[in-house]
Amino acid sequence: MHLKNPADLVARLELVGPDRVLLVDVPGEAARLFAAARAPSETTRETSGDAIRSIKESFEAVLVWRESRAGSRSVFDAALRRLEAPGPIWVVTALKKVRGPETPAVHRLELSDLVKAFEKEGFTYDREVRVSAWHVAYRFVRKGA
């Protein structure tokens, strides 16, 4: 995967400031970039969507990398339970009209799916950041935060 402007990506996603960040299903190259850009005293925890339930601590920011709709609801619910208020949750998805990601376009998560899912939990869509030629990150924050 070719990340778009990797030197600035962590700052654009605002993952430099929080003391504790949880990365869920983030590909190795991106996870290494996020961990390297943060101070050694800060916690950057990586996990898979399947193993997220074993993590008991909470985090100031969460980044979930999810292309497929399949199983995404349970991963989002588990990620939100580990998010401290008023922290943001970022969701990186594959763009609908591009070729390259493993997930077929018909099964990809879209912004409308995410808005519907997070609205029920009291979150609102805030902004987006282009991560690669094929991926975009959407930020959701608590309403009124």
Q: Is residue 113 included in any domain, yes or no? A: yes
Order of strands across the sheet that contains 89-94: 43-47, 20-24, 61-65, 89-94, 135-142, 123-130
Q: Is 109 exposed, middle or buried (0-12, 13-18, 19+ CB in 10 A)?
A: buried
Which residues constitute the domain of residue 111? 6-142
Write out pLDDT tens, residues 41-76: 899 999 988 899 999 999 999 999 987 767 688 899
Q: Is residue 1 included in any domain, yes or no? A: no
pLDDT category, 19, cuts 50, 70, 90? very high
Q: Is 100 exposed, middle or buried (0-12, 13-18, 19+ CB in 10 A)?
A: exposed
Write out pLDDT tens, residues 76-134: 999 999 999 899 999 999 876 555 556 555 556 889 889 998 999 999 999 999 998 88
Total domains in the fold of the chain: 1
Write out pLDDT tens, residues 21-41: 999 999 888 898 888 888 888
CATH number for position 44: 3.40.50.150
